[in-house]
Structures are given as C-alpha cells and as structure tokens.
Structure 1
Amino acid sequence: MNAVIIEDEYLAASELERLLGEVAPDVAILAKLDSVSESVKWLRKNKVDVIFMDIHLGDGQSFDIFEQVEITVPVIFITAYDEYALKAFKYQGIDYILKPFDKDELMNALSKLDSLSATNAPFPAASLTVYQERFLVTVGTKMKSVAIGDVAYFMADGKYLVLFTRDGQNFILDQTISGIESKLNPTRFFKINRKFIISYDAIKEMVKYSNSRIKIILSPLPPSGIEAIVSSERIQEFKQWLNQ
C-alpha cells in the first residue's frame, strides 16, 4: 500500500513514518510533503492509496489542497486542533487523530482503512448518500408535497416536529428532529440545538448572545416568544459550517 505524509513539522512527519514502519510495514511512504503548493504539485503527478495529512501547513490549510487537485483516496487526518473534525470528514476523512497520539490510535485508523478496502466499495461512501428532497404533509383533508428548497427550518414543539417553509407556512411532520437530521444535506441544513434544524437560506441575521453563544434571526420568524440560539456545544461546528 502506497502512502504520502503531508505534514509541515519535520519531526512529526519522521515520527509518523517510524510508527507506520512498526505497525504497518506494508505501507510504503512515497513522499513527505510540507506545504499546500508542494502537495498539489506532487498529487497531480502521483497516485497513492492513502494520505496522512496534518491540517495547518506553512502556506495554508490542507483543505486548500482539495480545491486544486482531485483526491479520491481515503485521508487520515492527524492534527493538534480538534475544531476541524466535522470539516475533515467532508474531505475524504476516515479518521481524525489528535496530537499527541499513540500507536493504538494509529492502528485503529489503519483498521478502518483495511475495513474500507475489504468492502471494495467506491470511496467515499458518503458520496452515495441520497438526501430527502420532498416532504409529504397533510393540510386538512388534502395532501401536499413540500420541496426541500422551500424549507426554511424544522422546529421541535413538544412531541411534534414542525416544518416551516420560506413563505411562512408550517406543517406538522410525523418524525422527530433527531430522526430527520440524517435525511438532510449537511451542507444545507444545521442542527443548532435540540429544538431547531435550520437552512442556511433561512438565516436573516446573526447576533452575539450571552456566554459566547449566537442568536439566529430566522426568516420567517418562529412563533412568538421562541428564539433560535446556537447551543454552546455546537458553536464551533456551526462556525465551521458557515465557513465551508
């Protein structure tokens, strides 16, 4: 199995190569690259089976590489920063290892790689995901299909889940907010707290709130007295979602 290490710290790259030699001697390191520009140039001319990639490089973030060259192989991210995990899995990531790491963590990542290879399935599997495009709702005795492009947000209201459209209508769905989250395209919708999943297009304004949280002004507005506040545990992922 051929691999490349993209890491701007010489000692970190050398240590990773050493550990790989111990736990996976069948992995051949073809190159160690330390910048976005060097990685793009190398990947345009060479093929590998897996990439070990840090996130912060000398001339930018490794995510910039994906904007300049097509990468279709699994990527194992190894970084000192925990705030990029969500974004990493949108860029071919199969594992996200935080520095400093040990041999067991590296072996676990390699096991995931082996499992993926054993299925002979095209990578990434996420690209095969089909998200829901329409929602069947009931209006009195009539039925209606609401296209996903018309959805502003979903709001949990007690035991009900309410779909709000961009033109101000609302419909009760026979689903739960946790159940519907996996059916929505994550680049388009984000669950800001236990009550709301919002569409990017429904964000009218964002203002700072207490305890470093963010208040979202939605369009259309939620029912009177209800505010859309990004929960503290979702702040970092929300910022990443806005910045992708």
Structure 2
Amino acid sequence: MTDAIVLQRERGLLTLQLNRPDKKNALTRAMYTQMAEALEQADADVDIRAVLIQGSSECFTAGNDIGDFLEQPPSDLDSPPFHFMKSLLNCRKPVIAAVAGAAVGIGTTLLVHCDLVYVSRDARLRMPFVNLGLCPEFGSSLILPRLLGHAKAAELLLLGEGFTGEQAAAWGIATEALGNGEAALAKAREVAERFETLAPGAVQVTKQLMKSVDREQLRRVIEEEGALFVQRLKSPEAIAALSGFITRR
C-alpha cells in the first residue's frame, strides 16, 4: 500500500500524490496515516516551503475506500482519517491542492483547509454523507454555510448535490478553475514552487493570522462532527447504505 501515496520532494516542495488509479484513488487507513505523517514531517522540516496534494489529471479521489472503511471503521478521534484531518489543520506550511475529475466526500471537504486550490472546470465534487447515512465531517457543517449561505450549503450537505470545478471556484471553495486536469495540475505546481522564493517566516505568520479567526470553534466542530460520524457508522441507516454501495459496485 506504500505506493498508493507517492511522495516526491523537489527542492522546497513536497508533493503528495494519490496513486490508486484502479480504485479512483479511494483512501484507505494506510493512506490516511501516510499522508498525516508526511504533513507532520513537512511541517517540522525547515527546508520544506510548501506541500502540494494531487491525484492524477483524471481523478483526485473517490473519497473513502468503503470496503476498507467497513472492515475497520474509525472508532475514535485518533483513528487514521481524523489523524489526517488534524495534521492538515495544524500544518503551518502552505498547502496547495490540484483537483481534476472526481473529488468525493473528504476529497471535497479537505479543500477548504488548503490555502490554494486549483481545479479543472469539469471536476466533479460531491459530499454525499447523508446519502450514505452519515453526517458531514472536517468542519464542513461550519465552513460551508459561512462560505455559501445556509440555503446553498443545505443543497450540498442535506441533499448531497454535486457541483463542478467551475462552480467551486465561483463559490470560493477553489482558487481558480482551469480548462482541464493537466492545466489544473500544472498551475498548482507552478504556484506551489513560488513559495521556494518567498520568505518562509513571513508566509507562515501570514497563514497563521488568516487561520486564527474562530480556530478553536473550528476545532470543536471537527471533534463534534467526528464523534457523531463514528456514531452514525454504527447506525442501521449507514450500515444499510454502505453495504448497498458495496453490493452495487
């Protein structure tokens, strides 16, 4: 499973590439752990100036690997998915995301914790938590209503409606929408490499200031969502929906 996340260090840039093309880059416990550890190591490494998270030019991630999820569901807030969330939330270095194709579940919610997000116009983003008998995670129940207003956030979270990369950029979830996946990946890398020449201390202080507003409230919401998410995984609704997903696949 180590090849499911390809880590590439090039000068001051660390790239985390999701690499399970046969599974649409669906995330397993091992992948969450590897990404969390890579973010923590990058945060502590003075030579790393920025982190780039990307999939391929065809797919970012289909979200959680449901089979892996059902085999050993997260049981507490120290489980691998929540470890990854905490590592991304705490990362002091700029985090840039490049998104093409599908970005499902946490593939969408992680974007609001990145500093710069470049998407292909036809990227397909969706947060189908309710559709799977679950609830929102990673602070999305707080951030999205503030960003989009309650009515639009309700459409995305209560109905699980999908949206495009172009819409993501228009709504402020993404920085910019580009023509295709290759263009999104190229733009994200170009921007990420700019941090190699910017004063790292100034960059980190600026990120700290931008993220400091309501930070503790966000932490509390993420913990509350996580606890409820763990409970929902045990509910008859979620068990039926997730099992049905596996059967249909």
Q: Note whether the superposition's TM-score is higher than 0.5.
A: no
Q: Which structure has greater strand proportion?
A: 1
TM-score bucket (shorter structure):
0.3 to 0.5
Asked which structure has the greater RCO (Cα within 8 Å, sep 6+), the reply is 2
Task: Give the alignment's TM-score, normalised by structure 2.
Answer: 0.33
Superposition TM-score, scaled by structure 1 size: 0.33
Instruction: Determine which structure has the larger helix proportion and give its number.
Output: 2
Larger Rg: 1
